[in-house]
């Protein structure tokens, strides 16, 4: 009998919601899962968390899609997973109706390099976390009851799969679902490049009162202090939790520009805005 772990990185909450859906669905099969939060307030060390996953695990691993990819911290977590322990994995990604990119394929490839077999996967439609202030956010109402139902079906299929020996892996091409031109473009994109294009993300010191809320909330532990002011470092993933919760509005946020751009990108997306399970 395998031990089920649900590890998730969720700055804005949708990926956590899906993790909870999986936990609830597993309980229906009388399976109690161990949850690992990869993005708690203040951040987490992946090299400490990953070894908590023990032999014969079934690892449900969730990330938001960020610029067509898994967040770097989730790939760090995979790189720190124990090897040669007969592990199987079910990567899942939440996405904001723009493009799910190569996220699931990338996770499966990284898991494979560590000797982990991918047996299922899901891309789950979710509220776009860059559009929290928008009157018409992409992915509104998701993840919801229909997504929970699909995740329940995925859990049932995976549990069924795990009862057979040997376990049947997910077909190699199943997660390579984007049209080739879009996939090639997605591989080229990255959060690092996007961050460079967007410019610096630092609080305006003329507004900041040094309250420390942003430092406490940051799910990647990206902040240090300098002269009594918080300074954002390289581990920032632009999740905008600091922007959202700073009462002094010290972080710049071009909401309308972002909204227009993301709606344009969503309209040109090669994907249907829906949740899909792969098993």
Ligand X SMILES: Cc1cc2nc3c(=O)[nH]c(=O)nc-3n(C[C@H](O)[C@H](O)[C@H](O)COP(=O)(O)O)c2cc1C
Write out the residues near ligand SF4 by the rule CB under 6 A: 11, 203, 208-214, 218, 220, 222, 230, 232, 236-242, 246, 248, 250
Tokens of 10: 């969720």
Could you tell me if residue 227 is left (phi over 0), alpha (psi between -120 and 50 degrees) or otherwise beta? left
How near is the Cβ of 90 to ligand X at its closest, in Å?
17
Tokens of 24: 């609830």
How near is the Cβ of 17 to ligand X at its closest, in Å?
8
Q: Which does 155 bind (CB under 5 to 8 A by kind): ligand X, ligand SF4, none?
A: none
Give the helix/strand (H/E) hosting 90.
strand 88-95
Q: Which does 210 bind (CB under 5 to 8 A by kind): ligand X, ligand SF4, none?
A: ligand SF4
Instruction: Name which of 224 and 260 has its Cβ closer to ligand SF4.
Output: 224
How near is the Cβ of 130 to ligand SF4 at its closest, in Å?
11
Q: Which does 97 bind (CB under 5 to 8 A by kind): ligand X, ligand SF4, none?
A: ligand X
Q: Is 184 exposed, middle or buried (0-12, 13-18, 19+ CB in 10 A)?
A: exposed
CA angle 59, 158, 104 (to 5 degrees): 55
CA angle 90, 180, 61 (to 5 degrees): 15
Q: Which does 130 bind (CB under 5 to 8 A by kind): ligand X, ligand SF4, none?
A: ligand X
Of 101, 116, 125, 74, residue with least CA distance to 175: 101
Q: Is 230 exposed, middle or buried (0-12, 13-18, 19+ CB in 10 A)?
A: buried
Q: Which does 236 bind (CB under 5 to 8 A by kind): ligand SF4, ligand X, none?
A: ligand SF4
Instruction: Name which of 74 and 239 has its Cβ closer to ligand X.
Output: 239
Instruction: Name which of 170 and 250 has its Cβ closer to ligand SF4.
Output: 250
Of 79, 68, 70, residue with least CA distance to 10: 70
Q: Which does 103 bind (CB under 5 to 8 A by kind): ligand SF4, ligand X, none?
A: none
Query: How would you classify the pairing of strands 117-118 and 121-125?
Result: unpaired
By the criterion CB under 6 A, which residues form the site for ligand X? 10-15, 64-68, 94-99, 101, 126-130, 238-240
Instruction: Name which of 167 and 185 has its Cβ closer to ligand X.
Output: 185
Instruction: Name which of 114 and 201 has its Cβ closer to ligand SF4.
Output: 201
* Separation in Å, CA 152 to CA 104, 122, 149, 155: 19, 11, 5, 5
How near is the Cβ of 129 to ligand SF4 at its closest, in Å?
10
How near is the Cβ of 219 to ligand X at its closest, in Å?
8
Backbone angles phi, psi at 165, to 5 degrees: -125, 135
Cβ–Cβ < 8 Å for 142, 275: yes
How near is the Cβ of 75 to ligand SF4 at its closest, in Å?
16
Q: Which does 22 bind (CB under 5 to 8 A by kind): ligand X, ligand SF4, none?
A: none
Instruction: Name which of 2 and 201 has its Cβ closer to ligand SF4.
Output: 201
Cβ–Cβ < 8 Å for 76, 45: no
């Amino acid at each position: 009998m395998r031990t089920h772990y649900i590890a998730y990185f969720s700055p804005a909450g949708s990926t956590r919601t899906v993790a909870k859906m999986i936990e609830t669905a597993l309980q229906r099969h009388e399976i109690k899962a161990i949850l690992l939060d990869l993005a708690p307030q203040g951040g987490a060390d992946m090299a400490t968390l990953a070894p908590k996953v023990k032999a014969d695990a079934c690892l449900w691993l969730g990330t938001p899609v960020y610029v067509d990819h898994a967040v770097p911290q989730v790939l760090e977590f995979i790189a720190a997973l124990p090897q040669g322990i007969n592990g199987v994995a079910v990567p899942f990604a939440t996405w904001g109706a723009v493009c799910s990119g190569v996220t699931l394929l990338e996770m499966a490839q990284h898991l494979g390099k560590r000797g982990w077999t991918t047996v299922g996967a899901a891309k789950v439609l979710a509220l776009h976390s860059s559009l929290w202030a928008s009157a018409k956010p992409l992915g509104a109402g998701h993840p919801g009851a229909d997504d929970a139902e699909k995740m329940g079906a995925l859990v049932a299929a995976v549990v069924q799969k795990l009862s057979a020996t040997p376990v049947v892996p997910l077909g190699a091409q199943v997660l390579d679902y984007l049209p080739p031109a879009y996939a090639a473009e997605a591989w080229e994109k990255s959060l690092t490049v996007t961050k460079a294009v967007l410019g610096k993300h630092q609080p305006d010191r003329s507004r900041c009162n040094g309250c420390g809320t942003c430092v406490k909330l940051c799910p990647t532990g990206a902040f240090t202090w300098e002269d009594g002011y918080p300074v954002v470092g390289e581990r920032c993933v632009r999740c905008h939790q600091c922007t959202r919760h700073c009462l002094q509005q010290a972080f710049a946020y071009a909401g309308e520009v972002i909204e227009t751009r993301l709606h344009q990108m969503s309209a040109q997306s090669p994907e249907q805005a829906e949740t899909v399970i792969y098993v």
